[in-house]
Amino acid sequence: MNPLPHPDQVLSAADQALRTLFSSHTAVRPMPRPAGTGDEAIPADAEQRRLSAALMRVNHVGEVCAQALYQAQALSTRDPALKAHFEAAARDETDHLAWTEQRLRELGARTSWLNPLWYAGAFGIGLAAGRVGDQVSLGFVVETERQVEQHLHSHLSRLPADDAASRAIVEQMRDDEARHAMDAERAGAVPLPLPVRWLMRGAAKVMTTTAHHV
């Protein structure tokens, strides 16, 4: 079992949590955009616009949770290479966070009011997985990213046909999540027990259903 983190690391993690929840974010990579999108990137129909906003709000919540998960796992491990692995994945997720925030602003919508709750829950789960051991922690990454990949794929079928801008973001996010899962497998992940995977799916369902509205 990995040891508890040093108090200085806990303070750093708290600072990162505040930045994730209450600061604006800047992506390193350009935001994915279909060629020639401008004002027409916003769905003209009000109902379709609300649907796009709700789906992108759910995706933003997923990125808030990803930040919490990776920060907790980086905090838990004593392996410098694995810590660097988690931090690199978190940087990709920061791009996703910035892209979904910007898209919500373009759609005239807000982020979830419950983001602090989502962050706290994901951080606690990541910390618990990290305490069990690095291979289990990596296994948790694999299962999480596989579920997120499936979830993003389903959003591509639900987004309005004329919302190519949101679709481009979701496609890039899906590809990144698939890469994160493969990277974790190569780093030594062990498969999680089936009941744990079921529990994760149930928790994700509660989160996505709630964030669609709140």
Structure tokens given for 120: 């706290």
The listed range with the strongest mean pLDDT (26-35, 37-46, 74-83, 100-109) is 100-109
At residue 9 the predicted structure's pLDDT band, cuts being 50, 70 and 90, is low
In 3D, which of 132, 151, 150 has the Cα closest to residue 190?
A: 132
pLDDT tens profile 52-64: 999 999 999 999 9
Beta strand segments in 87-190, E = none
- Whether 34 maps to a domain, the answer reads no
More confident residue, 12 or 114: 114
Q: Which residues contact 113 (CB under 8 A, 6 or more apart)?
A: 214
Q: What is the pLDDT of residue 42?
A: 85
- Whether 3 maps to a domain, the answer reads no
- Whether 25 maps to a domain, the answer reads no
Cα 205 to Cα 112, 151, 177, 198, 209, distances in angstroms: 15, 10, 18, 11, 6
Q: What is the pLDDT of residue 19?
A: 82
Average model confidence (pLDDT) for the chain? 88
More confident residue, 117 or 44: 117
pLDDT tens profile 70-116: 989 888 888 998 888 888 888 888 999 999 999 999 999 999 999 99
pTM: 0.90
- Whether 64 maps to a domain, the answer reads yes
Burial 54-64 (b: 16+ CB within 10 A, else e): bbbbbbbbbbb
- Whether 203 maps to a domain, the answer reads yes
- Whether 131 maps to a domain, the answer reads yes
- Looking at the chain, the number of H-run helices and the number of E-run strands are 7, 0
CA 165/CA 72 separation, integer angstroms: 32
Which domain CATH number covers 90? 1.20.1260.10
CA 181/CA 187 separation, integer angstroms: 10
Neighbours of 101 (CB within 10 A): 17
CA 182/CA 39 separation, integer angstroms: 37
Q: What is the pLDDT of residue 5?
A: 56
Which of these ranges, 18-27, 129-138, 177-186, has the smallest mean pLDDT? 18-27
Q: What is the pLDDT of residue 163?
A: 93
pLDDT (mean) for 129-138: 89
pLDDT tens profile 161-178: 889 999 999 999 999 999
**Domain hosting residue 132, numbered range:** 45-211
- Whether 189 maps to a domain, the answer reads yes
Domain count, the chain: 1
Is residue 40 scored above 60 in pLDDT? Answer: no
Q: What is the pLDDT of residue 16?
A: 78
Q: What is the pLDDT of residue 52?
A: 96
Q: What is the pLDDT of residue 11?
A: 65
At residue 13 the predicted structure's pLDDT band, cuts being 50, 70 and 90, is low
Q: What is the pLDDT of residue 31?
A: 93
- Whether 5 maps to a domain, the answer reads no
